[in-house]
A and B are shown apart, each in its own frame.
Chain A
């Protein structure tokens, strides 16, 4: 038989390599909705959340250091806005332009804690959409556990919240507030504030990635929402406003956080628990939506 060289040498050398193949993980992509196999999807989601931990941490460290690297004021930006808000409302109140209902706390303390906590909530709401859009170039080029983006967003929110809380703890005693044992419970309230904010932000994320209208409209919506939450106003006692304030799930969370922070008796514990339960359910649902939506969104991003 005539020997026939069919391939260049480099290719021939490859064929001889031997190796034992362990069972390899199989990945299959099909047009079917992944909701067809909910168990598998949940398993994969949990696995991704697990493998994404390290990535989330690295992304968060990266973004936090990048966030303040090109600013002159540095971490001051974490509380300049709520501080300015506080001063505005204190001025409006003291000059009598706006008359406020009586609060158990002195009004400056009430507004200061309110706006700071609200700022933390707002950070949490903004984070999912922001981190997803900022990662566009990564998302369209690499397949990675995308949940890591959300976790990284939570880390960043918590970091910025830490700065605000440190400021609160430093300033409150100067304003004549004695910190008490209930402060130990405050981290729980802080976490539920972030939890609820993240879940709410995630609801808007899939559509927000497609239509920038969401991103543009969100500050407006948040401002509106702020006036329906006891941030600067006390809880109304009666009327339509009272109902709206009561139905607003952010109210009990914010009130409880403030109460624990300022050693006041927590009057809205029942509402706080219900709101947390709701937030957990909502978060689980929107996490699934986020996961299902991602390939579809990426397709339209790169289109």
Chain B
């Protein structure tokens, strides 16, 4: 079944040099070695000012698989793609690809700005190794996919960045590659084109092995069947558990301090998330089980000038995506203010969030009127962002959505009388 492994990366390492002058001189040395038929000198040791941009990278991608490369800026993702596409030589190891390679490494890369979209499709196609006739055959499909019919004879320099991506992506995916490398290219497309692109990628996946670099975890969760997490040139996680890989990637970032956006008319203190069962603590972040009964507690004071208020919160995941919201006034729960300090407790029965780290935004507001549609208008008294963090653990099974609903399935046989 080795035939179906389209990408094989074995122990790939790559050195880079920090200083420009040195880098150029090493270039001359490497050139000399190459011309004398030798591998680069000092293969396994670093010369002064050098560092490992990639160190001992191993993975395989089969036809039908899509691996997501995750990592912070400068972790080595693009360097790895450059080795895989043969732009630069590895300093150790072996990178193998089978079949025709399509690559979209950088936004607008490889377009000539003076030429029209039409001419660029032909150039792009011949760069990928297609003959005039083959491109001719695919031309209409490419243009139709990019939806650039009206602009195809316009110089590419007048294209917006989104239009360039459309063109580049259309060329790369419509020429039926066996191996596809995509580097953070879909971020600028509009929503319609992004959806179309993901669907196209999904369609391609059946025939293709894809390496996908992205900083959008929603997209990675959606298209990738496995992930490799890079940190300073090393792979720190490699596996099929996409959610866990994403979690580890997001853990690399500090979620930052609490932000008090607004607290002139009400103040909150001692905000915490808890569980009657107790919960576990690790590095200051309480962690709970899937389906635990949680509560949110805080001390509050509201200015005496405001007679009533309600409580609202939202839960945000590590990707900054809001995943849940609550506002007590939606359930006719509004509270009278006495001006004295009070303790507020919000019970969250059976928390259905899947594994991950979440943070909390809390607001107090005062309802004061209703608009024509009957919606309540209110004035914010306090807004605390990122004011408490908690983790959910213990959910078993693969997860790709923030909630797992505790449904029940009933099955009746149609033949039963």
Contacts and interface: CB of A to CB of B under 8 A. Distances in A.
Interface of A: 4-8, 10-11, 13-17, 19, 21, 24-36, 51, 54-55, 58-59, 62, 65-66, 69, 137-145, 206-207, 210-211, 289, 292-293, 295-300, 302-303
Contacts of A21: 3-4, 63
A143 B110 contact: no
16 contacts: A15-B206, A24-B100, A24-B178, A31-B89, A31-B91, A33-B36, A62-B112, A62-B119, A62-B123, A138-B109, A144-B128, A207-B28, A297-B27, A299-B88, A302-B82, A303-B17
B131 interface: yes
Given A143-B85, A143-B87, A62 B43 contact: no
Contacts of B89: 29-31, 295-296, 299
Given A19-B207, A295-B87, A300 B24 contact: yes
Interface in B78-130: 82-101, 103, 105-106, 109-110, 112, 114-115, 119, 122-123, 126-129
A292 B101 contact: no
A19 B178 CA distance: 12
B64 A36 contact: no
Interface string B1-35: 00110100000000011001001101110110111
Contact of A296 (B6, B30, B206, B398): B30
B344 interface: no
A55 B109 contact: no
A290 to B, nearest CB: 11
Nearest to A56: B126
Contacts of B86: 27, 29, 143, 295
B59 to A, nearest CB: 15
A155 B150 CA distance: 33
Contact of A300 (B23, B131, B397): B23
Given A31-B39, A33-B37, A142-B110, A303 B20 contact: yes
A217 B305 CA distance: 80
A295 B88 contact: yes
A4 B27 contact: no
A33 B40 CA distance: 8
B10 to A, nearest CB: 10
B222 interface: yes
Contact of B38 (A26, A33, A65, A142): A33
Given A24-B178, A298-B88, A31 B43 contact: yes
Nearest to B91: A31
Contacts of B132: 54
A140 B81 CA distance: 11
B88 A17 contact: no
Nearest to B201: A10
B178 to A, nearest CB: 6
B94 A29 contact: yes
B250 interface: no
B35 A289 contact: yes
Nearest to B129: A51
Contacts of A293: 31, 34-35
Interface of B: 3-4, 6, 16-17, 20, 23-24, 26-28, 30-31, 33-40, 43, 63-64, 82-101, 103, 105-106, 109-110, 112, 114-115, 119, 122-123, 126-129, 131-132, 178, 202, 205-207, 222-223, 225, 397-398, 400
Contacts of B207: 17, 19
B123 A58 contact: yes
Contacts of B39: 31-33
Contacts of B36: 33, 35
Contacts of A7: 225, 398
Among all A-B residue pairs, the 9 with the closest Cβ atoms? A17-B206, A141-B109, A35-B37, A24-B99, A300-B27, A144-B127, A299-B88, A55-B126, A24-B98
Contact of A27 (B17, B31, B101, B112): B101
Contacts of B3: 21, 24
Contacts of A299: 27, 87-89
A14 B206 contact: yes
A299 B50 CA distance: 14
B84 to A, nearest CB: 8
B17 A17 contact: no
Contacts of B126: 54-55, 58
B202 A10 contact: yes
Nearest to A35: B37
Contacts of B397: 4-6
Contacts of B202: 10-11, 13-14
B95 A28 contact: yes
Nearest to B198: A10
B242 to A, nearest CB: 9
A54 B131 CA distance: 8
Contacts of B17: 303
